[in-house]
Amino acid sequence: MTKVDTLVQFCDVVKHFGATTALDKVSLDIQPGSIIGLVGSNGAGKSTLLRHIIGLYLPDAGTCTTLSMEARRLGPAEFARIGYVHQEGELIDWMNVGQLIRYVAAYYATWNTELEQRYVRDFELNLKDRVGSLSPGQRQKLAILLAIGFEPELLILDEPASALDPLARRQFLNLMLEMIQTQNRTIIISSHILSDIEKIIDHIVIMDKGRILRNCALDTLQEEFCRVTLTAAGGKLPESLPFRNAIDWSRSDGQAVLTLRHADEVEVVRQAGAIGCQAQIRRMSLDELYEAALK
Amino acid sequence: MNLVMVNLSHYWKRPALILWQVLILAMLLPSIPILLEQKVHTWMTPLFWPLFWMLVMGTMTATYQTEILTKPLSYTLPGHRHIVRKLLFGFNLFSSLLSAAIVLLLYPRDLTSRCCAAVLVLAFGQILFWVGVWCSYRSRNQPIVGFAFPILLFGPMVMDSFSIGQHWLQPLVPAVIAVISGIVSYRVWHILGRASFFQACCGRHYLGFTGAFSPGQLKKAQREQFKAISSETDEKLSRLGRFFIEKIALNRNQPFASFIYGVMYQTLGPVALMTLKSHGANLIIMALMFLLFGYYGKTGNLFIWLMFIFSLLGTDLQVHSTLLMTRGRMERFVSALMSLVFLTVIGLAMASVGIATTIMLEPFMPTFPIRGFIAEFHALNWQSYYLFIIGAPVVALLRLLFWGKRSFMLISIVLGAGLMGASFPLLMNIRDNLISINWGIILVVLILAWSAFTVYLYRACFHKNLAIK
C-alpha cells in the first residue's frame, strides 16, 4: 500500500539482464523534499534503479510506484512533474541549442523562460551551436537545463556532473543548492563524485551488486563512523590497540589512523589516554564514509 | 596468438561476419552457369560476374580492415600496419586466383582464349579489388550497407557497359592490363605502407559495416555530418521548427496530438536539414534513380518501392528515446503508430512525384543500345504501390524486434540482402505476375503486416524496457 506522503516507493523490486541481477529485492521509500545521493560502484544498479522510477525499465518482480502511480503507467500529467537527466545525455543532435530548448519547452506549461535564459548565460551555451557538435560537458549542461527548465517537483539526475569541468561543476552545485531551497522539491542524484554531492544531499542510499547496503540520513552515517588519529606520546605505539569497533586502520611507528564504527568520542579519548596516546577525532568525508560502509 | 591471427580472428568470432563471408563466397557461384551457358541475361557477358565479385570482395575486405585500423590500439601495436597491407594483398591474390581459376576451367573456348580470359580476370580483377578497397576507405561515415546496395542494384548495369567481350581476348590485351594491374598494385603497396595512411585512419570515425547497426556509432556519424551545417541552413530549418513547435504548444493538453507533431518534426527535420545542406543534391540523386529505374523496365516499378522500404530502415519511431519530456508509454505507442502511417503517406507522396516525373519525361528520354540489348525508357507506374504499404510495417517491426540486438539485426539484414540477391532472377521473372496478384491476397497480407507491427509495438511500449542497459 502506497503511503500518501511517499513520492517513490520500491517494493521488493527485482531486475535481471540475462544472467546479471541488476536489482535484487530492492525496497526503498523516498519522501517529498528529500535530496538523495545514490552512490555505488560501476554496475551497482544505480542507473537501473533510476530508470525504474520513471518507468523506462519494468521490474521483473516487485512493484515500483512513482507519484502514487505504478511507474509503467506514468502519463503526461506525471511526467510534467518529473525532470530526468540521462547519464549519456540523449539529445536531438540535428537541432541547434535554441531549437532544442524551444522544442522541449513547448511540451511544458510551466516552462520558466527566465530560468532558462539565466542558465543559458551561466552555462555559456551558444543557442546557435549544433547539439551534435557540443562537447560532452556542454551536452550535459544542456541536458540539465532541459530537465530543470520547467521546475520539476521530482528531479532525477543520473551522473549529471561526470563530464563537467571543475568550474561547471561548481555552477551545477550552486544550481542544485538553489533548487533545493524550493519546498518539497525532491532530487535524486547518482554520482561518482561524492565530494560534490556531499554538499547538497541530506539522505544517502549506497548500492552494491544490485542491493541497497545503506539507506539513511547522511547525518546518521556521519555519526556512525569517525576517523581517529592516534599519536603516541612516547614515540611508539603499543603492539595492540584497544579499539574493538575499528573497521579499518593503518599505522606507522608513532601514529595510527583508525576508522571506528559506533564510537563514543569520550570513550575513545579515554582509551587512547590509557595506552599513552593522544586521539584526534574528525568527521569523515562522503568518500571515506562510502568506503567504510562497504566494509 | 600472433598479430595475423588476432586480425583474422574477427572473421570467425562474429557470427554475422561469418554469414557475410559465406554469402560473398556464394556470390561467385552464379559465375559457373553464366560461364557455361555463355549468357543468362542478354546484357551480361560471361566474364562480368567474376569481375563484379572482385569489386565486392575488395569493398568488404577493406571495410573490416579499415574498421580495425581506426581503433587506436591497432595503430600502437608494433608491426600491425604491415599486417594490414599483407592481408589485403593476400585476400586480393586469393580471390583473383579463385575467380581466374574458375574462368580457366569453365570458359568454353579454346585453350588460348581460356588463358587470355583467365589472365584478364586475374589482372583486371585485381584492379577492381583495389577500386573496392578505395570505395570502402572513402565511404567514411556512410554505412557500408547503404553504400553497397546501390552497387548491387546498379553495378551490374553500369559495369557491363564496359565489360569484356570476345574481341578483348587477344593475347596483347591481357598483357597490357596485367602491366597496368602490376603498376596499380605497386602503388597501392606503397600507399598502404605509408605512416601517414595509418595516422589518417587512427581514431577516425568510420562506420564500416557493423557500425551501421550500432545506434551509438550511427549517432556519432550523424554528429560529424551535422557539424558541417551552416547557420543559413539553420535559419531555413527554423521556419519548419516554428511551425511544429507552435502546434506542439497549442496541443499541449492533447498529448497524442502534440507527440505526433513532435515525431513528425523529429522525422522531417533531419531530412530537411540534409537536403538543404547539400543544396538539393539528394533530390537530384533520387531523381536520377527514378530515371535509371525507368530503364529497368517493369522491374523498375518493383525497385522504386524496395528503395523506399529500405530507406525506412534508418528511421526512428522514438519508442526508445530517453529524452523524457511529457511522454508516457501510451503516448509513445500512439505517436509511433501514427508516425509510421505518416511516413508511409510521405513515402507514397514522394514516389508519386517521382512517378509523375517519369511519365512527363517519357517522350523525351532517349533509347540506346547496350551490347545488343535496347535500353528503352518506360514511365514508372503505381501498380506495385502496395509493396510499400506492406513493406513499411515489416521494416518497422524488424527495427523494433532487433532493437538493442545489433548482431541479430546485422544477420537479418545480411540474410535479407542475400535473399534479395538470390531471388533477383526470380523477381525478373515474376514481375509481370506481381501486378496481377489477387487483390484479396494483397489485402490480407497488408492487414497481417500492420496488425503484426501494431501488436508488437504495443508489447514493446507497454511490456518492455524503453532504454538500453
Does residue A82 carry a pLDDT above 90? Answer: yes
Whether the CB-CB separation of B346 and B367 falls below 8 Å is answered with no
Distance from CA of B283 to the nearest CA of A (A): 19
Distance from CA of B337 to the nearest CA of A (A): 18
Average pLDDT, chain A: 88
Q: What is the pLDDT of residue B452?
A: 96
Tell me, yes or no, if A101 comes closer than 8 A to chain B by beta carbon.
no
Mean pLDDT of A141-147: 92
State the number of CA atoms in the 13 A half-sphere of A268 facing the CB: 23
Does residue B153 carry a pLDDT above 70? Answer: no
Q: Which residues of B touch A22 (CB under 8 A)?
A: 469
Burial A10-40 (b: 16+ CB within 10 A, else e): bbebebeeeeebbbbebebbbeebbbbbbbb
For the stretch B223-241, pLDDT in tens is: 776 766 666 677 777 788 8
Does residue B277 carry a pLDDT above 80? Answer: no
Q: What is the pLDDT of residue A116?
A: 93
Does residue A64 carry a pLDDT above 80? Answer: yes
Does residue A100 carry a pLDDT above 70? Answer: yes
Least confident of A28-42, A158-172, B36-50, B445-459: B36-50
Percent of chain B surpassing pLDDT 90:
13
Does residue B426 carry a pLDDT above 90? Answer: no
Percent of chain B surpassing pLDDT 70:
74
ipTM of this complex: 0.84
Higher pLDDT, B313 or A273: A273
Say which of B269, B327, B466 has its CB closest to residue A95.
B269
Distance in angstroms (rounded) separating the CA atoms of residues B261 and B335: 9
CA torsion angle B299 B300 B302 B308 (round to 10): 160
For the stretch B291-333, pLDDT in tens is: 888 887 777 777 788 778 877 877 778 888 878 777 889 989 9
Q: What is the pLDDT of residue B458?
A: 96
Distance in angstroms (rounded) separating the CA atoms of residues B211 and B218: 7
Distance in angstroms (rounded) separating the CA atoms of residues B413 and B340: 20
Higher pLDDT, A237 or A281: A281
Mean pLDDT of B112-123: 85
Q: Between chain A and chain B, how many beta carbons pairs sit less than 8 Å apart? A: 113
Q: What is the torsional sign of CA A106, A107, A110, A116?
A: negative
Say which of B227, B255, B466 has its CB closest to residue A132.
B227
Q: Which residues of A touch B231 (CB under 8 A)?
A: 128
Which distant-in-sequence residues (6+ apart) come within 8 Å of B433 by Cβ?
Answer: none
Q: What is the pLDDT of residue B38?
A: 58
- Which residue in B278, B193, B175, B265 sits closest to B228, CA to CA? B278
For the stretch B130-143, pLDDT in tens is: 988 888 887 665 54
pLDDT band at A194 (very low <50, low <70, confident <90, very high): confident
Least confident of A8-17, A269-278, B240-249: A269-278
Q: Which residues of B touch A57 (CB under 8 A)?
A: 465-467
Tell me, yes or no, if B426 comes closer than 8 A to chain A by beta carbon.
no
Q: What is the pLDDT of residue B184?
A: 93
Mean pLDDT of B94-99: 90
Distance from CA of A133 to the nearest CA of B (A): 5
- Cα–Cα distances in Å, from A59 out to A22, A24, A30, A43? 10, 10, 18, 17
What is the DSSP code string of A158-223? ESTTTT--HHHHHHHHHHHHHHTTSTT-EEEEE-S-HHHHTTT-SEEEEEETTEEEEEEEHHHHHH
Q: What is the pLDDT of residue B424?
A: 57
Q: What is the pLDDT of residue A295?
A: 79
pLDDT band at A264 (very low <50, low <70, confident <90, very high): confident
- Cα–Cα distances in Å, from B347 out to B314, B339, B341, B386? 13, 12, 10, 12
Mark yes or no for CB contact A130/B227 under 8 Å. yes
Does residue B246 carry a pLDDT above 70? Answer: yes
CA torsion angle B271 B277 B283 B284 (round to 10): -160
pLDDT band at A217 (very low <50, low <70, confident <90, very high): very high
What is the DSSP code string of B389-403? HHHHHHHHHHHHHTT
pLDDT band at A244 (very low <50, low <70, confident <90, very high): confident
Higher pLDDT, B190 or B318: B190
Kindly identify which residue of chain B lies nearest to residue A103, measuring between CA atoms.
Answer: B245
Distance in angstroms (rounded) separating the CA atoms of residues B332 and B338: 10
Does residue A111 carry a pLDDT above 80? Answer: yes
H/E stretch holding B245: helix B231-250
Say which of A84, A102, A103 has its CB closest to residue B324.
A84
Mean pLDDT of A77-93: 86
Mean pLDDT of A64-91: 90
Distance from CA of B213 to the nearest CA of A (A): 18
Which cell numbers in the block locate residue B122?
586475374
- Cα–Cα distances in Å, from B116 out to B104, B175, B183? 9, 9, 19
Mean pLDDT of A38-54: 92
Q: What is the pLDDT of residue B373?
A: 66
Q: What is the pLDDT of residue B160?
A: 53
Which ranges constitute the DSSP H helices of B70-161?
Answer: 72-76, 80-106, 111-138, 144-161
Distance in angstroms (rounded) separating the CA atoms of residues B227 and A26: 43
Q: What is the pLDDT of residue A62?
A: 95
- Which residue in A72, A149, A140 sits closest to A108, CA to CA? A149
Whether the CB-CB separation of B251 and B257 falls below 8 Å is answered with yes
Distance in angstroms (rounded) separating the CA atoms of residues B76 and B163: 43
SS3 A226: strand
Kindly identify which residue of chain A lies nearest to residue B316, measuring between CA atoms.
Answer: A92
User: Which range among A15-19, B234-238, B279-283 has the greatest average pLDDT?
Assistant: A15-19
pLDDT band at B43 (very low <50, low <70, confident <90, very high): very low
Q: What is the pLDDT of residue A28?
A: 94
Distance in angstroms (rounded) separating the CA atoms of residues B444 and B431: 20
Kindly identify which residue of chain A lies nearest to residue B257, measuring between CA atoms.
Answer: A107
For the stretch B380-413, pLDDT in tens is: 887 778 888 998 999 899 888 887 766 666 666 6
Mark yes or no for CB contact B270/A94 under 8 Å. yes
Backbone phi, psi, residue A33, to 5°: 90, -5
User: Which range among A110-124, B261-275, B322-336 has the greatest average pLDDT?
Assistant: A110-124
State the number of CA atoms in the 13 A half-sphere of B457 facing the CB: 26
Mean pLDDT of B119-123: 88
Please give the DSSP secondary-structure letter assigned to residue A33: T
Mark yes or no for CB contact A79/B324 under 8 Å. yes
Percent of chain A surpassing pLDDT 70:
98
Q: What is the pLDDT of residue A3?
A: 46
